[in-house]
Amino acid sequence: SIPTVDVVQPYVNSKKRFSFPATAVYKGKIPLDATDKRQRIDFILASLAISKYSINGTIYNNADTNTLSDHFPVEAKFLIQKK
């Protein structure tokens, strides 16, 4: 197997590093214990060779995305220059 790296983790504050559950799970009404259930279950993994080109990572866990799905969107950006 090829070793992989989570390329989003270095760019996201540990308190904001959750991708599940979004409020869609709760039909828009967030229970009081919802923050206890937050988990990071969505990752973008890259090989060690590709991971060195990562320039940003985001977990869009905010009001704009909390009803799109039961998971929050995760994005990684890379800068790979042509030789």
Per-residue pLDDT of the chain (83 residues; tens, 9 = 90+): 889 999 999 999 999 999 998 877 776 666 656 667 889 999 999 999 999 999 999 999 998 988 888 899 999 999 988 88
Cβ-proximal residues to 38 (8 Å cutoff; 6+ apart), any chain: 18, 20, 21
pTM: 0.84
Task: Give pLDDT, residue 16.
Answer: 93
The amino acid at 68: L
Specify the DSSP class assigned to residue 60: -
Q: For residue 55, what is the enclosing H or E element?
A: strand 54-59
Task: Give pLDDT, residue 29.
Answer: 66
* Cα atoms found within 13 Å of the Cα of residue 62, Cβ hemisphere only: 5
Q: For residue 24, what is the enclosing H or E element?
A: none
